[in-house]
Amino acid sequence: MPAVETQIADSQTADIPLLAAQAAIWYAQALDPASPVYNTGDAVEITGPLDEDRFEQALRQTVDEAQALSAVVVTGPDGTPRQRLRPGRSWPLHHLDLRAAADPAAEAEAWMRADLARPADLAEGPLFTHALIRLTGDRRLWYRRIHHLAVDAYALTLLGDRVAALYAARATGAEPAPSPFAGLAEAAAEEAAYRGSAEYEADRAHWSARMAGAG
C-alpha cells in the first residue's frame, strides 16, 4: 500500500485524542451521563417542493464526510478518553407525516422536545438524530439533534450548507465542491502543534495576566 494510503487508513482506524474543548464536555457529561444538557438541536424549515430521496442522499453523504459524527469516545486502561471512528454505521432518518394531525406544528415540537431530552451514549453512538417532518403539503422541518461533543454552532452551519450544496448538485447534475470538513486526526494534530508552540505560551501569558485576581 502506498504511504499516503497507509496514512489515510491509519487516521480512520487509530484512536484520536479529544480536542481540549471536547475533553471539557466529555468530563462534564461523565459527571451526569443521563443528562441531555449537551444535546444541541434545531429545526430547519423547508418550504416548497422537495425530493425527499435526494435530500436523504445528500444528508447521508454529509454525515459520511463529517468524521466527528461517526466518532464515539473510548477510555483506555489509564482512563484517558479518546475518539474512535466508526464510519459506515447504519442510522435512521426518521420520516414523520403530520399533515393529518389537528396541530402539526405542536405535534412536531412535542416529538422534537422528547428526542432532545434523550441522553446520548458517547461510548456507543451515534451522537445524532435526524428527522424530516412534513407539516403541510409544501412545508417540512429538518430536525437534527447532535451532541455538543461533535459540533458547535459553526459546525451546524457547515453541515446545513453542505447538505444544501449536495442536494443542489444532485438536482442539476453538477459536480459538488470537495468536502469542507477537516479530519479529526488533522484537527488534533493542529491543536497539538499549537500547544507546543511559542504562540501558545504567549497567549497563555497574556490571558494569565489579564485574568490575574479574577474570581
Give residue 42's pLDDT band: very low, low, confident or very high (50, 70, 90): very high
Averaged pLDDT score across all residues of the chain: 93
Residue 5 banded pLDDT, cuts 50, 70, 90: very low
What pTM, to 2 d.p., does this model score?
0.88
Q: Is the pLDDT of residue 37 over 60?
A: yes
Per CATH, the number for 10-182 is: 3.30.559.10
Question: For 152-211, how does the pLDDT look when each residue is reduced to its tens digit (9 = 90+)?
Answer: 999 999 999 999 999 999 999 999 999 999 999 999 999 999 999 999 999 999 999 999
Q: Which of 119, 83, 139, 51 is nearest to 129 (CA)?
A: 119
CA 130 – CA 95 distance, rounded (Å): 9
- pLDDT tens digits, one per residue of 92-132: 999 999 999 999 999 999 999 999 999 999 999 999 999 99
